[in-house]
Amino acid sequence: MTARVYVTRPIFDQGVERLKREVHVEVNSDERVLSKSELISHLREADGALTLLTDIINREVLDACPRLKVVANFAVGFNNVDIEAATERGVIVTNTPGVLTETTADFAWTLLMAAARRVVEADRFARAGKFKMWGPKMFLGHDVYGKTLGLIGLGRIGQAVARRASGFNMKVIFHDAEPIPEQVLQDLGVTPAPLEELLRISDFISVHVPLLAETKHLLSDRTFAMMKPTCVVVNTSRGPVVDEKALVRALKNGKIAAAALDVFEREPEIEPELFDIDNVVIAPHIASASHETRLKMCMMAAENLLASLKGNRPPNLVNPEVWGKRRS
């Protein structure tokens, strides 16, 4: 019998066409996040789901969908899926690592530069017709070249961000809970630092850790207080890594100079006070949003889904422990 796949939101046509060559596909054509009950009603009859990071696949959903064998997430992050629950129930989970690394690193730099040089503020100023005269102290920002960049997390994306820093002649330090091979450190020219030291000496801090219990609110009142008042903080990882209310306090009280955020604690909700602060750049979770990369992510999710449904090990398996006890 042909397997049934549900795609939770409109994706690229090429991805749907690829799936249709092998399975029966239904796509939610509404550009909105489905509620839990809607998700369950669609996934109940499905063998596979192509999900987005906005779909919460928890125990309740998995229990209500006993036929579901694979959840192929269209994202490298998979904190929207309860991996433990999926593994217990024999459900394969996959993600889309690698293809978005460079695009996301480009965007971390976009945010860093925009915040350092106040591009968004200046754009608002110019559009408002306020540019009446050039001024020697107008929109003074912070130099980037030659400064110290602190990377919290030196995985694939952190490393790609580090590579770009050499063009700015920066000193790059990092903190990562996992050991990084010495050769990688040498090639990148980066130096490990205890987290507290990184917080104290960095001019720019860019966050590249997954959302885990240990990384939730890693940036908090306590850690912002350790930073330089000239520090610029960039977050392209996951929103809850930064305590958004503490960030507001840090910006308002001059504990740091600026921030640039692509992700938010209660996405798509954004802490309202952030809107009233000039020295924060706000982007709607678009770090991987290039034409090329989003298409690659889509095709990768589709291939992961198809491989799993054919009984093959998918290329990007998140929960290898599931292998011996997959749902059939």
Annotated active-site positions, please?
A: 238, 267, 285
Describe the strand order of the beta sheet including 4-7 as a list of residue ranges. Answer: 24-27, 4-7, 48-51, 70-73, 92-94
Looking at the Cβ atoms of 4 and 9, the one nearer to ligand DGY is 9
Looking at the Cβ atoms of 65 and 76, the one nearer to ligand DGY is 76
Min dist CB 146 to ligand DGY, Å, is 30
Task: Provide CB contacts within 8 A for 275, sequence distance 6+.
Answer: 282
Min dist CB 94 to ligand DGY, Å, is 12
Min dist CB 288 to ligand DGY, Å, is 3
Cα distance between residue 113 and residue 118, in whole Å: 8
Looking at the Cβ atoms of 235 and 288, the one nearer to ligand DGY is 288
Min dist CB 102 to ligand DGY, Å, is 13
Helices (H), 29-118: 36-43, 59-64, 83-88, 101-116
Q: Are 164 and 109 in contact (CB under 8 A)?
A: yes
| Residues of this chain that bind ligand DGY (CB under 6 A) | 53, 75-77, 100, 288
Task: Give the distance from CA 99 to its chain's centroid.
Answer: 13
Q: The tokens of 316 are what?
A: 């990007």
Q: The tokens of 90 are what?
A: 């024999």
Looking at the Cβ atoms of 76 and 280, the one nearer to ligand DGY is 76
* DSSP class of 168: G
